[in-house]
Amino acid sequence: MSVEVNWQTTRPTIRERTKFMLNNNLFSDVKFVVRKSDGESESKEVISAHKFVLSIGSPVFEAMFHGELAETRDSIELPDCEYESLLELFRYMYSDEVNLSGSNVMGVLYLAKKYIVPTLVEKCTKYLQENLDPSNVFNILPTAEKYEEKNLVDRCWKVIDEQTEAAVKSDGFATIESSLLEALVVRDTLTIKEVGLFQAVDLWAAKQCEKQGVAVNGELKRKILGEKIIKAIRFPVMKEEEFAAVVLDKDILTKGELVAFFQFFNSVSTTPVGFSKIGRSGVSADVCRCGRFRSVSLSSWGYGGGVDYLVFSVDKDVMLHGLSLFGSQNRAYTVNLQVKNTSNNSAVVSKKGTFPSKHLQYKDSYCYGFEVLFDSPVHLTKITSYQIEALISGAPSGRGNDGFKTALHSGVMFTFSSSNSPNSNATSQTGGQFPEFLFSVL
């Protein structure tokens, strides 16, 4: 390689002069031999380097060249990296620049970790976060977990939660380890129909059978998956026709389990033991509204420090998403709300906050109020008594009148009754607060 005369004079900064030395034989005192893949062929390439530059950029290279067991060879072979990745590591160490791409970023991240170059690690993880999508998330997540890059791990799970269906259809999903598959199927926040999740899990197991060179059958797929993964599939939330069309012929469930499920689907038994019948919170459900008053009025319902109580129960298991409350026009209300199981006085869900009042539709008319939505829907079990407790601060609001003792909505019967709790603000079965219950049917 020929070097231009007086090259220093055309590069006025130290950065420019150092950058010029990248992979340059001039003054080079060490060479690295690495593999280079070009389509189907593979060759060995040499990168010229300078011990001084590498040592001031990495404590590992410093130890390699100047430690007690310093490397004395002029040529060092690195079998654990490729030419493109090592060249980009050196480019960064010589110039603070790096050319990242989908083909080299994983290799560069590995080398940045290995040689302890934290600022390059940050650039790699930032690049991965910015280019993360369902098609590559299962390729990136294992690496992020291996290197304990928490922000990248969290971002990966966010993509998986928000775009589950697309993620499990990616090529990378078929190659994940069983531990990652288990971490996936136990998540409550996935946004995929349960039958779709089962199909993805079944396909993963079939691919594993093929990889191991064994017959693809239900017994071996179940053995490969393991009981934790099988039990994490929420078969009871599937529709019976989905279960019959998709699950039945996969032979993953035992005969006893199949009988139990068909009894469950036909209301002959309760949930089959070991399988959850609570839908994942990430899956949007049809939210229903159960109103408990025959009429509403704008008459002043005041808040003087007393708690508004109401006791209720449902005749079927439901997911409670939240409650609507009365307010008045252009006002905000501070609320501390809890729903408790009256049998043990334990809170099943709570919510605090300040809520602006807005125009809400109530049956065939309108009222002013606001909705208190829980961070995630809460499971209410049938024939269980619950009590709502809400400490409300704000201007006088509207109120409900002539309340129903029972109200049937979407096949669910709500039963309301007054509370005997002290320090009451006078909400009761017949009037006061809590005009609507927002719920979905299991």
pLDDT greater than 90 at residue 395: yes
**Percent of the chain surpassing pLDDT 90:** 81
| Domain contains 431 | yes
Based on the domain organization, do 342 and 234 belong to the same domain?
no
Tens-place pLDDT, residues 257-276? 999 999 988 877 776 778 99
Based on the domain organization, do 391 and 294 belong to the same domain?
yes
On whether the CB atoms of residues 426 and 403 are closer than 8 A, the answer is no
pLDDT greater than 90 at residue 225: yes
On whether the CB atoms of residues 78 and 86 are closer than 8 A, the answer is yes
pLDDT greater than 70 at residue 431: yes
Based on the domain organization, do 17 and 127 belong to the same domain?
yes
| Domain contains 157 | no
| Domain contains 35 | yes
DSSP string, 108-167: HHHHHHHTT-HHHHHHHHHHHHHT--TTTHHHHHHHHHHTT-HHHHHHHHHHHHHTHHHH
Tens-place pLDDT, residues 374-394? 987 888 999 999 999 999 999
Residue after which a domain boundary falls, among 131, 164, 191: 131
Q: What is the pLDDT of residue 375?
A: 82
Q: What is the pLDDT of residue 40?
A: 79
pLDDT band of 72, cuts 50, 70, 90 = confident
Based on the domain organization, do 237 and 302 belong to the same domain?
no
Residue after which a domain boundary falls, among 265, 299, 328: 265
Tens-place pLDDT, residues 18-53? 999 999 999 999 999 999 988 778 999 999 999 999
Based on the domain organization, do 39 and 111 belong to the same domain?
yes
On whether the CB atoms of residues 86 and 47 are closer than 8 A, the answer is yes
Mean pLDDT to the nearest integer, 352-380? 86
Q: What is the pLDDT of residue 156?
A: 96
pLDDT greater than 60 at residue 1: no
Q: What is the pLDDT of residue 362?
A: 77
Based on the domain organization, do 338 and 409 belong to the same domain?
yes
Based on the domain organization, do 246 and 122 belong to the same domain?
no
- For 193, the domain range is 177-265
Q: Smallest Cα–Cα separation from 337: which of 375, 367, 304, 366? A: 375
How much is the mean pLDDT over the chain?
A: 93
300 vs 93: which has the higher pLDDT = 93
Based on the domain organization, do 302 and 357 belong to the same domain?
yes
Based on the domain organization, do 378 and 430 belong to the same domain?
yes
Based on the domain organization, do 189 and 332 belong to the same domain?
no
Based on the domain organization, do 61 and 190 belong to the same domain?
no
Tell me the CB-side half-sphere exposure of residue 224, using CA atoms within 13 A. 24
Q: How far is CA 421 from CA 340, 351, 369, in A?
A: 13, 20, 25
On whether the CB atoms of residues 123 and 101 are closer than 8 A, the answer is no
| Domain contains 271 | no
- For position 407, which CATH number holds? 2.60.120.820
C-alpha 231/C-alpha 282 separation (Å) is 19
